[in-house]
Protein backbone atom coordinates (compact mmCIF):
# COMPACT_ATOMS: atom_id res chain seq x y z
CA UNK A 1 0.00 0.00 0.00
CA UNK A 2 1.71 3.23 -1.14
CA UNK A 3 2.24 5.68 1.69
CA UNK A 4 0.95 8.52 -0.48
CA UNK A 5 -2.42 6.77 -0.85
CA UNK A 6 -2.80 6.62 2.94
CA UNK A 7 -1.70 10.24 3.15
CA UNK A 8 -4.25 11.26 0.51
CA UNK A 9 -7.02 9.43 2.36
CA UNK A 10 -6.12 11.27 5.54
CA UNK A 11 -6.30 14.55 3.63
CA UNK A 12 -9.83 13.79 2.48
CA UNK A 13 -9.14 12.51 -1.04
CA UNK A 14 -12.32 10.62 -1.97
CA UNK A 15 -10.69 8.68 -4.81
CA UNK A 16 -7.97 7.36 -2.49
CA UNK A 17 -10.64 6.42 0.07
CA UNK A 18 -12.72 4.64 -2.58
CA UNK A 19 -9.75 2.58 -3.74
CA UNK A 20 -8.82 1.56 -0.22
CA UNK A 21 -12.45 0.65 0.57
CA UNK A 22 -12.50 -1.66 -2.46
CA UNK A 23 -9.27 -3.33 -1.34
CA UNK A 24 -10.64 -3.80 2.17
CA UNK A 25 -13.92 -5.26 0.97
CA UNK A 26 -12.02 -7.66 -1.29
CA UNK A 27 -9.97 -8.77 1.75
CA UNK A 28 -6.81 -8.25 -0.29
CA UNK A 29 -3.31 -8.08 1.25
CA UNK A 30 -3.20 -4.40 0.26
CA UNK A 31 -6.47 -3.83 2.13
CA UNK A 32 -5.14 -5.52 5.25
CA UNK A 33 -1.97 -3.43 5.10
CA UNK A 34 -4.02 -0.25 4.73
CA UNK A 35 -6.09 -1.15 7.80
CA UNK A 36 -2.95 -1.72 9.84
CA UNK A 37 -1.62 1.71 8.90
CA UNK A 38 -4.95 3.46 9.45
CA UNK A 39 -5.88 1.79 12.75
CA UNK A 40 -4.02 4.29 15.03
CA UNK A 41 -6.25 7.05 13.62
CA UNK A 42 -9.54 5.29 14.44
CA UNK A 43 -11.83 5.40 17.47
CA UNK A 44 -13.24 8.90 17.00
CA UNK A 45 -16.34 8.42 14.84
CA UNK A 46 -19.85 7.99 16.22
CA UNK A 47 -21.25 4.85 14.57
CA UNK A 48 -25.03 4.74 14.17
CA UNK A 49 -26.71 1.43 13.33
CA UNK A 50 -30.15 1.43 11.72
CA UNK A 51 -32.23 -1.72 11.53
CA UNK A 52 -35.85 -2.59 11.03
CA UNK A 53 -38.16 -4.65 8.84
CA UNK A 54 -38.28 -4.22 5.05
CA UNK A 55 -40.68 -1.45 4.10
CA UNK A 56 -40.09 0.59 7.25
CA UNK A 57 -38.40 3.36 5.27
CA UNK A 58 -34.87 2.85 6.58
CA UNK A 59 -33.18 4.22 3.46
CA UNK A 60 -35.35 7.33 3.41
CA UNK A 61 -34.63 7.81 7.10
CA UNK A 62 -30.88 7.43 6.50
CA UNK A 63 -31.12 10.01 3.71
CA UNK A 64 -32.85 12.56 5.95
CA UNK A 65 -30.62 11.79 8.93
CA UNK A 66 -27.44 12.33 6.90
CA UNK A 67 -28.71 15.70 5.68
CA UNK A 68 -29.54 16.90 9.19
CA UNK A 69 -26.20 15.74 10.59
CA UNK A 70 -24.47 17.72 7.84
CA UNK A 71 -26.46 20.79 8.91
CA UNK A 72 -24.93 20.76 12.39
CA UNK A 73 -22.82 23.88 13.12
CA UNK A 74 -19.51 22.01 12.74
CA UNK A 75 -20.57 20.62 9.33
CA UNK A 76 -19.36 17.08 10.14
CA UNK A 77 -18.59 14.58 7.40
CA UNK A 78 -21.01 11.65 7.23
CA UNK A 79 -20.34 8.17 5.84
CA UNK A 80 -23.11 5.74 4.96
CA UNK A 81 -22.51 2.00 4.74
CA UNK A 82 -25.61 0.55 3.11
CA UNK A 83 -25.54 -3.23 3.49
CA UNK A 84 -27.56 -4.44 0.52
CA UNK A 85 -28.86 -7.97 -0.11
CA UNK A 86 -26.43 -10.14 -2.05
CA UNK A 87 -27.28 -10.87 -5.67
CA UNK A 88 -27.82 -14.64 -6.11
CA UNK A 89 -26.14 -14.37 -9.52
CA UNK A 90 -23.11 -12.10 -9.12
CA UNK A 91 -22.60 -12.34 -5.36
CA UNK A 92 -22.37 -8.55 -5.23
CA UNK A 93 -24.57 -5.88 -3.69
CA UNK A 94 -27.86 -5.22 -5.48
CA UNK A 95 -27.26 -1.49 -4.79
CA UNK A 96 -30.88 -0.67 -4.03
CA UNK A 97 -29.90 1.78 -1.29
CA UNK A 98 -27.42 3.62 -3.54
CA UNK A 99 -30.24 4.23 -6.03
CA UNK A 100 -32.53 5.60 -3.30
CA UNK A 101 -29.82 7.99 -2.04
CA UNK A 102 -28.84 9.58 -5.35
CA UNK A 103 -29.84 13.04 -4.11
CA UNK A 104 -27.02 12.89 -1.54
CA UNK A 105 -24.33 12.34 -4.16
CA UNK A 106 -23.78 16.05 -4.73
CA UNK A 107 -22.62 16.65 -1.16
CA UNK A 108 -18.85 16.04 -0.93
CA UNK A 109 -19.20 15.76 2.83
CA UNK A 110 -21.25 12.57 2.45
CA UNK A 111 -19.76 9.29 1.24
CA UNK A 112 -22.10 6.39 0.42
CA UNK A 113 -20.75 2.86 0.17
CA UNK A 114 -22.99 -0.08 -0.70
CA UNK A 115 -21.76 -3.53 0.12
CA UNK A 116 -23.18 -7.03 -0.10
CA UNK A 117 -24.39 -8.85 2.99
CA UNK A 118 -22.86 -12.00 1.42
CA UNK A 119 -25.62 -14.06 2.97
CA UNK A 120 -24.81 -13.00 6.53
CA UNK A 121 -27.94 -13.65 8.60
CA UNK A 122 -27.78 -10.39 10.50
CA UNK A 123 -27.30 -8.43 7.33
CA UNK A 124 -23.74 -7.43 8.25
CA UNK A 125 -20.82 -8.70 6.21
CA UNK A 126 -17.52 -9.36 7.99
CA UNK A 127 -15.91 -6.34 6.27
CA UNK A 128 -18.49 -3.86 7.61
CA UNK A 129 -16.40 -3.02 10.68
CA UNK A 130 -13.27 -2.76 8.52
CA UNK A 131 -14.94 -0.25 6.20
CA UNK A 132 -16.06 1.79 9.19
CA UNK A 133 -12.44 1.93 10.38
CA UNK A 134 -11.35 3.39 7.04
CA UNK A 135 -14.08 6.04 7.21
CA UNK A 136 -13.12 6.79 10.81
CA UNK A 137 -9.46 7.29 9.88
CA UNK A 138 -10.52 9.47 6.93
CA UNK A 139 -12.14 11.93 9.32
CA UNK A 140 -15.82 11.05 9.00
CA UNK A 141 -17.37 12.02 12.33
CA UNK A 142 -20.57 10.04 11.83
CA UNK A 143 -20.85 6.61 10.22
CA UNK A 144 -24.37 5.38 9.52
CA UNK A 145 -24.71 1.62 8.99
CA UNK A 146 -28.00 0.49 7.47
CA UNK A 147 -28.66 -3.24 7.67
CA UNK A 148 -30.65 -5.44 5.28
CA UNK A 149 -33.61 -5.91 7.62
CA UNK A 150 -34.76 -7.06 11.02
CA UNK A 151 -34.73 -10.59 12.31
CA UNK A 152 -33.66 -12.81 15.17
CA UNK A 153 -29.99 -12.58 14.15
CA UNK A 154 -30.02 -8.81 13.54
CA UNK A 155 -28.69 -8.19 17.02
CA UNK A 156 -25.10 -8.28 15.71
CA UNK A 157 -25.46 -4.56 14.94
CA UNK A 158 -25.20 -3.83 18.67
CA UNK A 159 -21.60 -5.11 18.63
CA UNK A 160 -20.65 -2.57 15.98
CA UNK A 161 -22.66 0.61 16.51
CA UNK A 162 -22.49 3.08 19.38
CA UNK A 163 -26.14 4.02 18.90
CA UNK A 164 -28.67 1.56 17.49
CA UNK A 165 -31.92 2.79 15.96
CA UNK A 166 -34.74 0.28 15.53
CA UNK A 167 -37.26 1.47 12.95
CA UNK A 168 -40.90 0.39 12.94
CA UNK A 169 -43.95 1.56 11.01
CA UNK A 170 -47.66 1.54 11.77
CA UNK A 171 -49.55 -1.51 10.59
CA UNK A 172 -46.60 -3.91 10.49
CA UNK A 173 -48.38 -6.41 12.72
CA UNK A 174 -48.14 -7.39 16.36
CA UNK A 175 -45.58 -5.13 18.07
CA UNK A 176 -45.04 -7.83 20.71
CA UNK A 177 -43.25 -9.81 17.98
CA UNK A 178 -40.46 -7.25 18.20
CA UNK A 179 -39.66 -8.48 21.69
CA UNK A 180 -39.78 -12.13 20.61
CA UNK A 181 -37.30 -11.38 17.84
CA UNK A 182 -34.94 -9.75 20.30
CA UNK A 183 -35.02 -6.49 18.39
CA UNK A 184 -36.47 -4.24 21.09
CA UNK A 185 -33.70 -5.25 23.47
CA UNK A 186 -30.97 -3.82 21.27
CA UNK A 187 -32.61 -0.44 20.63
CA UNK A 188 -31.06 2.74 21.98
CA UNK A 189 -33.71 4.70 20.11
CA UNK A 190 -37.05 3.42 18.79
CA UNK A 191 -38.36 5.18 15.70
CA UNK A 192 -41.92 4.91 14.40
CA UNK A 193 -41.43 6.06 10.81
CA UNK A 194 -44.21 6.96 8.36
CA UNK A 195 -45.96 8.45 11.38
CA UNK A 196 -48.48 10.14 9.11
CA UNK A 197 -50.06 6.71 8.54
CA UNK A 198 -53.06 5.46 10.47
CA UNK A 199 -52.13 3.73 13.71
CA UNK A 200 -48.90 5.64 14.40
CA UNK A 201 -49.97 6.83 17.85
CA UNK A 202 -51.07 3.31 18.73
CA UNK A 203 -47.67 1.92 17.67
CA UNK A 204 -45.90 4.50 19.83
CA UNK A 205 -48.14 3.65 22.78
CA UNK A 206 -47.47 -0.09 22.35
CA UNK A 207 -43.71 0.44 22.31
CA UNK A 208 -43.82 2.74 25.33
CA UNK A 209 -45.91 0.19 27.20
CA UNK A 210 -43.38 -2.55 26.44
CA UNK A 211 -40.59 -0.39 27.77
CA UNK A 212 -42.58 0.40 30.89
CA UNK A 213 -43.17 -3.33 31.42
CA UNK A 214 -39.50 -4.19 31.64
CA UNK A 215 -37.36 -2.53 29.00
CA UNK A 216 -37.47 1.01 30.32
CA UNK A 217 -34.43 0.66 32.59
CA UNK A 218 -31.80 -1.01 30.47
CA UNK A 219 -28.10 -0.92 31.11
CA UNK A 220 -25.13 -2.04 29.14
CA UNK A 221 -22.90 -4.97 30.03
CA UNK A 222 -20.06 -5.73 27.67
CA UNK A 223 -21.59 -3.47 25.06
CA UNK A 224 -25.01 -5.12 25.13
CA UNK A 225 -28.30 -4.18 26.70
CA UNK A 226 -29.22 -6.06 29.86
CA UNK A 227 -32.54 -5.98 31.70
CA UNK A 228 -31.87 -3.94 34.82
CA UNK A 229 -35.17 -3.61 36.63
CA UNK A 230 -38.81 -2.86 35.92
CA UNK A 231 -39.68 0.82 36.08
CA UNK A 232 -43.23 2.03 35.72
CA UNK A 233 -43.93 5.03 33.52
CA UNK A 234 -44.81 7.32 36.41
CA UNK A 235 -41.48 6.50 38.09
CA UNK A 236 -39.41 7.14 34.97
CA UNK A 237 -37.69 10.10 36.67
CA UNK A 238 -36.49 7.80 39.45
CA UNK A 239 -34.72 5.42 37.03
CA UNK A 240 -31.04 4.82 37.80
CA UNK A 241 -28.84 7.55 36.33
CA UNK A 242 -26.65 4.89 34.70
CA UNK A 243 -29.57 3.55 32.69
CA UNK A 244 -30.34 4.80 29.20
CA UNK A 245 -34.09 4.74 28.66
CA UNK A 246 -34.77 4.18 24.94
CA UNK A 247 -37.07 6.99 23.73
CA UNK A 248 -39.80 6.37 21.17
CA UNK A 249 -39.85 8.99 18.42
CA UNK A 250 -42.22 9.61 15.51
CA UNK A 251 -40.83 10.57 12.11
CA UNK A 252 -42.01 11.12 8.57
CA UNK A 253 -38.64 10.78 6.89
CA UNK A 254 -39.97 11.55 3.41
CA UNK A 255 -40.98 15.04 4.64
CA UNK A 256 -38.15 15.50 7.14
CA UNK A 257 -40.58 15.61 10.07
CA UNK A 258 -39.13 14.55 13.41
CA UNK A 259 -35.59 14.16 11.99
CA UNK A 260 -34.06 17.05 13.94
CA UNK A 261 -35.50 15.62 17.15
CA UNK A 262 -33.93 12.28 16.20
CA UNK A 263 -30.54 13.92 15.63
CA UNK A 264 -30.78 15.61 19.04
CA UNK A 265 -31.43 12.26 20.73
CA UNK A 266 -28.52 10.59 18.90
CA UNK A 267 -26.16 13.37 20.02
CA UNK A 268 -27.50 13.08 23.57
CA UNK A 269 -26.87 9.33 23.52
CA UNK A 270 -23.30 9.90 22.36
CA UNK A 271 -22.70 12.27 25.29
CA UNK A 272 -24.27 9.74 27.65
CA UNK A 273 -21.95 6.96 26.44
CA UNK A 274 -18.85 9.10 26.94
CA UNK A 275 -19.88 10.43 30.36
CA UNK A 276 -20.63 6.94 31.70
CA UNK A 277 -17.57 5.27 30.17
CA UNK A 278 -19.76 3.08 27.99
CA UNK A 279 -18.24 4.52 24.81
CA UNK A 280 -15.00 2.70 25.63
CA UNK A 281 -16.92 -0.47 26.52
CA UNK A 282 -18.72 -0.37 23.18
CA UNK A 283 -15.38 0.09 21.39
CA UNK A 284 -13.94 -2.90 23.23
CA UNK A 285 -17.00 -4.96 22.32
CA UNK A 286 -16.54 -4.07 18.64
CA UNK A 287 -12.87 -5.05 18.79
CA UNK A 288 -13.75 -8.35 20.48
CA UNK A 289 -16.27 -9.15 17.74
CA UNK A 290 -13.76 -8.20 15.05
CA UNK A 291 -11.12 -10.48 16.54
CA UNK A 292 -13.63 -13.32 16.76
CA UNK A 293 -14.54 -12.97 13.08
CA UNK A 294 -10.90 -12.70 12.02
CA UNK A 295 -9.92 -15.79 13.99
CA UNK A 296 -12.75 -17.81 12.42
CA UNK A 297 -11.80 -16.58 8.96
CA UNK A 298 -8.08 -17.24 9.37
CA UNK A 299 -8.55 -20.69 10.90
CA UNK A 300 -10.99 -21.69 8.18
CA UNK A 301 -8.58 -20.52 5.47
CA UNK A 302 -5.72 -22.47 7.03
CA UNK A 303 -7.87 -25.57 7.41
CA UNK A 304 -9.20 -25.35 3.85
CA UNK A 305 -5.67 -25.14 2.47
CA UNK A 306 -4.70 -28.29 4.38
CA UNK A 307 -7.54 -30.47 3.03
CA UNK A 308 -7.07 -31.94 -0.47
CA UNK A 309 -10.06 -31.21 -2.70
CA UNK A 310 -10.54 -34.87 -3.59
CA UNK A 311 -10.63 -35.82 0.10
CA UNK A 312 -13.23 -33.14 0.82
CA UNK A 313 -15.43 -34.28 -2.07
CA UNK A 314 -15.10 -37.92 -0.98
CA UNK A 315 -16.29 -37.12 2.54
CA UNK A 316 -19.15 -35.01 1.18
CA UNK A 317 -20.24 -38.01 -0.90
CA UNK A 318 -20.09 -40.28 2.15
CA UNK A 319 -22.34 -37.91 4.08
CA UNK A 320 -24.70 -37.54 1.10
CA UNK A 321 -25.01 -41.34 0.89
CA UNK A 322 -25.66 -41.54 4.64
CA UNK A 323 -22.53 -43.64 5.14
CA UNK A 324 -21.08 -41.07 7.49
CA UNK A 325 -22.64 -38.65 9.97
CA UNK A 326 -21.69 -34.95 9.65
CA UNK A 327 -20.08 -35.12 13.12
CA UNK A 328 -17.85 -37.95 11.95
CA UNK A 329 -17.09 -36.07 8.75
CA UNK A 330 -15.95 -33.02 10.71
CA UNK A 331 -13.60 -35.16 12.80
CA UNK A 332 -12.07 -36.61 9.63
CA UNK A 333 -11.68 -33.19 8.03
CA UNK A 334 -10.19 -31.62 11.15
CA UNK A 335 -7.65 -34.45 11.28
CA UNK A 336 -6.07 -33.06 8.11
CA UNK A 337 -5.42 -29.76 9.86
CA UNK A 338 -3.94 -31.50 12.91
CA UNK A 339 -1.64 -33.51 10.66
CA UNK A 340 -0.51 -30.34 8.90
CA UNK A 341 0.20 -28.55 12.19
CA UNK A 342 2.14 -31.52 13.59
What pLDDT is stored for residue 318 in this prediction? 94
> How much is the pTM?
0.82
Q: Tell me which CATH code domain 42-277 carries.
A: 3.40.50.300
> 38 with 9: CB under 8 angstroms?
yes
> 162 with 279: CB under 8 angstroms?
yes
| Rounded Cα distance, 110 and 81, in Å | 11
Per-residue pLDDT tens, the chain, 342 aa: give them.
Answer: 568 889 999 999 999 999 999 999 888 999 999 999 999 999 999 999 998 888 889 989 999 999 999 999 999 999 999 886 544 334 444 445 455 566 677 789 999 998 865 544 444 666 888 999 999 999 999 999 998 764 534 667 888 899 999 998 887 655 455 444 456 678 899 999 999 999 999 989 888 887 777 554 444 443 345 433 333 344 444 444 568 889 999 999 999 999 999 999 999 999 999 999 999 998 888 888 888 888 988 888 888 888 999 999 999 999 999 999 999 999 998 887 655 544
pLDDT in tens, 34-59: 999 999 999 999 999 998 888 889 98
| Rounded Cα distance, 46 and 270, in Å | 7
| Rounded Cα distance, 209 and 67, in Å | 32
Give the domain ranges of the chain: 1-35, 42-277, 307-341
Determine the angle formed by the axes of helices 14-25 and 3-10, rounding to 10 degrees.
Answer: 120
| Rounded Cα distance, 217 and 231, in Å | 6
| Rounded Cα distance, 167 and 125, in Å | 20
Sign (positive or negative) of CA dihedral 138, 144, 149, 150: positive
Q: Which long-range contacts (CB under 8 A, 24 or more apart) does 7-13 make?
A: 9/38, 9/134, 9/137, 9/138, 10/41, 10/137, 10/138, 10/139, 12/138, 12/139
What pLDDT is stored for residue 216 in this prediction? 45
- Residues pairing with 220 in the sheet: 225
Amino acid sequence: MPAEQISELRKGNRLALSRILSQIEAASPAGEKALEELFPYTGQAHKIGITGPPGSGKSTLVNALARNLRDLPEKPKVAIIAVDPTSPFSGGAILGDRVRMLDLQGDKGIFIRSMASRGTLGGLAAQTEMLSQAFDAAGYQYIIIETVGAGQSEVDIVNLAHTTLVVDVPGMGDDIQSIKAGILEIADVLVVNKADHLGADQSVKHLQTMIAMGYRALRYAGGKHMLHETVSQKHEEEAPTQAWIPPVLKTVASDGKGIQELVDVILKHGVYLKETGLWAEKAQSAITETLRKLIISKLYTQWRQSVPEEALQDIIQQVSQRKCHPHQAIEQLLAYNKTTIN
